[in-house]
């Protein structure tokens, strides 16, 4: 993690990174610092938690299935799936 | 793979990200179970599969596989871009499929919003912002708040309208941001000449950290207009001085990515890669860092290239 992020991440983003949830789905907050623009889509996980957020907020779930994890990586390549797709950079 | 193309492409677009954050609850899952997963399989989620259904059934009738032509363009009609479920679990439509630029993804999201409006009502806070702006048409601050909200909802005509109202009596910092939002919205509407005029009118009227960030944002917006006009050399000349910094700002990542893109379009591929690597190294969590990675061809991962390198239509 970029060292500067420790001091400026909003609580909701910390919650998202630590627990895979979004604490402030309804009202997005602006996030940026000397690590650049951190305003990205929050991909809520696990699915059950995302469903809960959708029910609470009355919003529609936008679901992105990832198919890459099942693909055989090229020699020396890093496979998709798991950590490579879920590191918070979505 | 294709997921990378989307993550670094349309889903990393500011307009798309804003609207998704405002109006949807986004979630992702890996369809491959750990035993058949070449990654660590940690995103495999049986709950998601139970709710969405088997991928083979969802893909039926769509051509599978992803392929890259000799020019780098990816076709992947059988890859799901977005599926939609109502809060009660009902499937809404067939979803969006294939690799698409931000403009097309935005169109797809708007279609869903228009078809099922009851799930996309404004929040109490949003209603208050709009009500204040409507009640106080001469209050530049109220118009700016409403313009920001409209921008985040990808309501481009509304942004232009709010800017028109607010600019009359706006103090310099408010005026500058209104002109900037106006220009971004005009760009998305395809009114590039008006957008450029609005950006050039901002000048050096802003001060402080927010002013410096806005100044950088204005330069990026102007450079993107130059790229759209087929003038990558102008974009490089504009942004190059900002590629060296001691303390990065909000738009420093956009500067590095966009300058790299402009160099790439000029044929200076090696120079472009230097900037994209710098972006990845210095600002790994930046919104566009993935796009720089995908532009490099990702030595470290399996991925198709950033489609913005090959396709100009639908990117703003």
pLDDT above 50 for A11: no
Nearest CA in chain A to B6: A90
**Same domain assignment for residues B8 and B114:** yes
Q: Is residue A15 part of a domain?
A: yes
**Same domain assignment for residues B155 and B131:** yes
Mutating which of B4, B15, B26, B298 best tests the A interface, going by the most A Cβ atoms within 10 A?
B26
Residue B150: which CATH number? 1.25.40
B62 CB within 8 Å of a chain A CB = no
What is the C-alpha separation between A47 and B258, in angstroms, rounded?
Answer: 34
Distances from the Cα of B229 to the Cα of B111, B152, B179, B188, B232, angstroms: 29, 25, 21, 14, 8
Q: Is residue A82 part of a domain?
A: no
**Same domain assignment for residues B93 and B151:** no
pLDDT above 60 for B1: no
Q: Is residue B217 part of a domain?
A: no
Q: Is residue A71 part of a domain?
A: no
What phi and psi values does residue B155 have, to the nearest 5 degrees? -100, 85
Please identify which residue in the block is written with the tokens 């009118």: B201
Chain B residues within an 8 Å CB radius of A82: 30, 37, 39-43
Q: Is residue B25 part of a domain?
A: yes
**Same domain assignment for residues B43 and B145:** no
Mean pLDDT of chain B: 91
Average of per-residue pLDDT across B115-137: 97
Q: What is the 3-state secondary structure (H, E, C) of chain B?
A: CHHHHHHHCHHHCHHHHHHHHHHEEEEEEECCCHHHCCCCCCCECHHHHHHHCCHHHHCCCCCCCCEECCCCCEECCCCEEEEEECCCCCECCCCEECCCCHHHHHHHHHHHHHHCHHHCCCCHHHHHHHHHHHHCCCCHHHHHHHHHHHHHCCCHHHHHHHHHHHHCCCCHHHHHHHHHHHHHHHHHCCCHHHHHHHHHCCCCCCCHHHHHHHHHHHHHHHHHHHHHCCCHHHHHHHHHHHCCCCCCCCCHHHHHHHHHHHHHHHCCHHHHHHHHHHHHHHCCCCCCHHHHHHHHCCCCCCCCCCHHHCCCCCCC
B261 close to B275: Cβ distance less than 8 angstroms: no
Among candidate residues B84, B119, B154, the one where a domain is terminated? B119
Among candidate residues B54, B87, B119, the one where a domain is terminated? B119
Q: Is residue A76 part of a domain?
A: no
State pTM to two decimals. 0.88
**Same domain assignment for residues B129 and B195:** yes
**Same domain assignment for residues B112 and B138:** no
Q: Is residue B216 part of a domain?
A: no
pLDDT above 70 for A81: no
Q: What is the pLDDT of residue B257?
A: 97
Burial of B286 by CB count in 10 Å (0-12 exposed, 13-18 middle, 19+ buried)?
buried
Q: What radius of gyration do chain A's Cα atoms show? A: 15
What phi and psi values does residue A32 have, to the nearest 5 degrees? -160, 160
Confidence class for position B30, pLDDT limits 50, 70, 90: confident
Q: What is the pLDDT of residue B293?
A: 84
Q: Which of residues 110-139 of B touch A (CB under 8 A)?
A: 112, 116, 119-121, 123, 125
Size of interface A-B (CB pairs under 8 A): 265
**Same domain assignment for residues B108 and B139:** no
What tokens were used for B247?
A: 């303390």
Q: Is residue A46 part of a domain?
A: yes
**Same domain assignment for residues B114 and B133:** no
Q: What is the helix (H) or strand (E) element at residue A71, kind and residue range?
A: none
Q: Is residue B215 part of a domain?
A: no
**Same domain assignment for residues B232 and B197:** no
Asked whether the beta carbons of residue B41 and residue A54 sit closer than 8 angstroms, the reply is no
Q: Is residue B220 part of a domain?
A: no
A51 CB within 8 Å of a chain B CB = yes
More confident residue, A78 or B48: B48
Please tell me the distance in Å from A11's CA to the nearest CA on chain B.
16
Q: Is residue B214 part of a domain?
A: no
Write out pLDDT tens, residues B238-253. Answer: 999 999 998 888 899 9
Closest CB to A79: pick one of B23, B85, B302.
B302
Q: Provide ipTM, 2 decimals.
A: 0.93
Q: What is the pLDDT of residue B194?
A: 98
Q: Is residue A9 part of a domain?
A: yes
Domain count, chain B: 3
B111 close to A87: Cβ distance less than 8 angstroms: no
Q: What is the pLDDT of residue B67?
A: 75
Average of per-residue pLDDT across B207-212: 78
Q: Is residue A45 part of a domain?
A: yes
Strand order of the sheet with strand B24-30? B24-30, A60-66, B80-85, B96-97
Q: Is residue B8 part of a domain?
A: yes
Q: Which of residues 230-249 of B touch A (CB under 8 A)?
A: 247-249
Among candidate residues B163, B178, B206, the one where a domain is terminated? B206
More confident residue, B225 or B212: B225
Domain membership of residue A33 as a residue range: 3-62
Domain membership of residue B250 as a residue range: 226-316
**Same domain assignment for residues B40 and B138:** no
**Same domain assignment for residues B147 and B100:** no
**Same domain assignment for residues B130 and B180:** yes
Please identify which residue in the block is written with the tokens 């090959």: B310
Query: Which three-class secondary structure state does DSSP give residue A63?
Result: strand
A39 CB within 8 Å of a chain B CB = yes
Domain count, chain A: 1
Please tell me the distance in Å from B193's CA to the nearest CA on chain A.
27
């Amino acid at each position: 993690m970029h060292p500067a992020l420790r001091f400026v991440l909003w609580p909701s983003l910390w919650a998202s990174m630590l627990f895979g949830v979004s604490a402030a789905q309804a009202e997005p907050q602006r996030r940026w610092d000397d690590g650049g623009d951190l305003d990205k889509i929050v991909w809520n996980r696990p699915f059950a938690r995302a469903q809960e957020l959708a029910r609470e907020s009355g919003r529609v779930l936008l679901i992105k299935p990832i198919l890459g994890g099942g693909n055989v990586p090229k020699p020396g390549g890093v496979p998709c799936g798991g950590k490579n797709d879920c590191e918070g950079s979505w | 793979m294709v997921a990378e193309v989307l993550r670094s492409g349309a889903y990393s677009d500011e307009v798309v990200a804003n609207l998704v954050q405002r109006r949807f609850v986004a979630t992702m899952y890996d369809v491959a179970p750990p035993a058949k997963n070449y990654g660590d399989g940690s995103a495999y989620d049986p709950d998601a599969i139970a709710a969405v259904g088997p991928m083979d059934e969802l893909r039926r009738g769509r051509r599978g596989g992803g392929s890259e032509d000799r020019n780098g363009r990816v076709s992947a009609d059988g890859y799901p871009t977005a599926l939609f479920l109502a809060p009660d679990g009902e499937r809404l439509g067939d979803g969006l499929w294939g690799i698409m630029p931000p403009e097309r993804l935005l169109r797809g999201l708007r279609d869903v919003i228009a078809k099922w409006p009851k799930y996309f009502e404004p929040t109490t806070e949003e209603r208050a912002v709009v009500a204040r702006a409507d009640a106080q048409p001469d209050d530049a601050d109220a118009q700016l708040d409403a313009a920001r909200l409209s921008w985040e909802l990808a309501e481009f005509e509304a942004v232009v309208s709010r800017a028109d109202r607010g600019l009359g009596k706006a103090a310099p910092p408010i005026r500058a941001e209104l002109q900037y939002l106006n220009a971004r919205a005009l760009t998305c509407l395809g009114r590039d000449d008006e957008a450029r005029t609005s950006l050039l009118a901002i000048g050096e009227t802003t001060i402080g950290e927010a002013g410096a960030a806005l100044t950088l944002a204005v330069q990026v917006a102007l450079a993107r207009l130059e790229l759209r006009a087929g003038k990558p050399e102008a974009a490089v000349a504009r942004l190059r001085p900002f590629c060296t910094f001691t303390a990065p700002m909000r738009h420093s990542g956009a500067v590095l990515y966009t300058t790299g893109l402009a160099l790439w379009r000029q044929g200076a591929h090696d120079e472009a890669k230097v900037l994209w690597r710098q972006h990845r190294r210095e600002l790994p969590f930046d919104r566009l860092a993935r796009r720089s990675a995908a532009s490099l061809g990702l030595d470290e991962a399996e991925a198709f290239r950033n489609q913005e390198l090959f396709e100009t239509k639908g990117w703003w």
